[in-house]
Amino acid sequence: MKSICGVEGVTAWGLKEGKFGLALIRADGEAAGVFTTNLMKAPPIRLMEERISRGTLSAVMANSGCANAYTGSRGQEDALEMAAIGAEALHLLPEEVGVASTGVIGRYLNLPLIEDQCRRVAPHLARTDEAEVLAARAIMTTDLTEKHSLVRRETFSVGGITKGSGMIAPNMGTMLAFIYTDAEVGAQKLREALKSATRRTFNRVVVDGDMSTNDIALCTATGKAGHVNPQEFSTALEECCRALAIQIAEDGEGASKLLEVTVQGAPGEEEAATVAKTVVASPLVKTAVYGADPNWGRVIAAAGRAGVEFDPDRVNLWMGDGRESVPLVTKGEIVVDLVRAKALMQGKKVTFTLDLAAGSSKATAWGCDLTEKYVEINGRYTT
């Protein structure tokens, strides 16, 4: 098992037919969620914001192919109906079923298809390798890979699946993410831990700076593993979310390389994150990474417009491939060995570490390069 089915009390199944997929995940437990901050929240997001306040969930049902976004009052009724369809198939109450949608904006849900897919998925719910893979696959849209994470601790586990490849932006990182733990955690604690983990992981991924209307991360704690150390749980949850966030960045639309930017020596963690996200989001940095061009000037110029005070003459900058790194700038002086730097940019991962020399805080952000493929994918999405 590599994700949700590694967690006690979770069963799943999924189905993908062309662009249209449906995943069902069954797990009774305390539940918490974080949601997009886009003003144009999709109806399923509005519904879940309301329902998650109950603090428990018994199942999650997610469809791909249609986001049920910008669909007005009919969209709200459709989201309610979708939860009812899931509830009927699973013999639950509608309010015990979480719903999420992803795909094209501005189209109504095909409820007969969802009902049909739900009826075919429900009987298969299982706790197997195949089950979690099918569930993760069912929620993919422009994703090329399914995304799993499983963090095992001595007494409990945290596992999650996610999807997301485009419309990936800095606030509530994007995407659907369904995370489970068998640790016994109350809804309030779960909410705090999820919020904190999201801030440091999903919200630090930038693929294209476009914030989705449908972002949602749900975490359910089945409690099967009993009481755990809260700090240990938070750390494990963050580790799980980080692994999922990095997979989203790696699978960014058109991406050929993962871009990881760590900013250290910042006056505060949020300042460090702001600078890191600005660098990760810069089209000029992204294209330089694509072209394997160690263009420290673009990194520094992006950092300079992030709105965080630092002294350009004191900064240090390194570049690497995740294993090895070379200095590009030392105390404001350019020291780059171009041949060696270029050689380090040939792989699947490029890292920049920028020391602002303006404090002692640190943060990392993830993104990907910008390639012709991104343009191709998004120039022809709805056609």
Q: Identify the residue among 17, 37, 335, 337 touching a second copy (CB under 8 A).
A: 37
Minimum CB–partner distance for residue 29 and a second copy (Å): 32
287 in contact with a second copy (CB under 8 A): yes
Minimum CB–partner distance for residue 111 and a second copy (Å): 18
Minimum CB–partner distance for residue 165 and a second copy (Å): 12
Q: Which stretch binds a second copy (CB under 8 A): 57-65, 68-76, 112-120, 181-189?
A: 68-76
Q: Identify the residue among 273, 281, 350, 358 touching a second copy (CB under 8 A).
A: 281
State the sign of the Cα–Cα–Cα–Cα dihedral 160, 163, 165, 170. Answer: negative
Q: Identify the residue among 2, 70, 347, 359 touching a second copy (CB under 8 A).
A: 70
Distance, CA of 360 to CA of 351 (rounded, Å)? 20
Asked if 351 is an active-site residue, the reply is no
312 in contact with a second copy (CB under 8 A): yes
Minimum CB–partner distance for residue 273 and a second copy (Å): 17
Distance, CA of 133 to CA of 83 (rounded, Å)? 23
Distance, CA of 228 to CA of 153 (rounded, Å)? 10
208 in contact with a second copy (CB under 8 A): yes
| Partner residues linked to 101 by β-bridges | 63
300 in contact with a second copy (CB under 8 A): yes
Minimum CB–partner distance for residue 40 and a second copy (Å): 3
Distance, CA of 345 to CA of 353 (rounded, Å)? 14
Give the 3-state secondary structure of 133-198. HHHHHHCCCCCCCCEEEEEECCCCEEEEEEECCCCCCCCCCCCEEEEEEEEECCHHHHHHHHHHHH
User: What are the residue ranges of helices labelled H in 230-362?
Assistant: 230-250, 269-281, 283-290, 296-304, 338-344
Contact 164, 173 (CB under 8 A): yes
State the sign of the Cα–Cα–Cα–Cα dihedral 350, 287, 241, 12. Answer: negative
State the sign of the Cα–Cα–Cα–Cα dihedral 243, 248, 254, 258. Answer: negative
Structure tokens at 102: 């992803």
Distance, CA of 4 to CA of 135 (rounded, Å)? 9
CB nearer to a second copy: give 180 or 296. 296
100 in contact with a second copy (CB under 8 A): no
What x-and-dash track marks residues 128-147 binding a second copy by CB under 8 A?
A: --------------------
Q: Identify the residue among 102, 222, 295, 351 touching a second copy (CB under 8 A).
A: 295
Q: Which residues contact 40 (CB under 8 A, 6 or more apart)?
A: 69, 70, 213
Minimum CB–partner distance for residue 181 and a second copy (Å): 30
Q: Which stretch binds a second copy (CB under 8 A): 78-86, 119-127, 161-169, 346-354?
A: 161-169
Q: Identify the residue among 332, 347, 357, 362 touching a second copy (CB under 8 A).
A: 332
274 in contact with a second copy (CB under 8 A): no
Contact 228, 185 (CB under 8 A): yes
95 in contact with a second copy (CB under 8 A): no
Q: Identify the residue among 131, 136, 158, 288 touching a second copy (CB under 8 A).
A: 288
CB neighbour class for 207 (10 Å; exposed up to 12, middle 13-18, buried from 19)? buried
What x-and-dash track marks residues 353-372 binding a second copy by CB under 8 A?
A: -----------------xxx
Local structure of 210: helix, strand or coil:
coil
Minimum CB–partner distance for residue 297 and a second copy (Å): 3
327 in contact with a second copy (CB under 8 A): no
Q: So which residues are the catalytic ones?
A: 174
In the complex, which residues of this chain contact a second copy (CB under 8 A)? Answer: 37-40, 69-70, 72, 104-106, 166-167, 169, 171, 208-213, 281-284, 287-288, 290-291, 293, 295-298, 300-305, 309-310, 312-313, 332-334, 370-372, 374-383
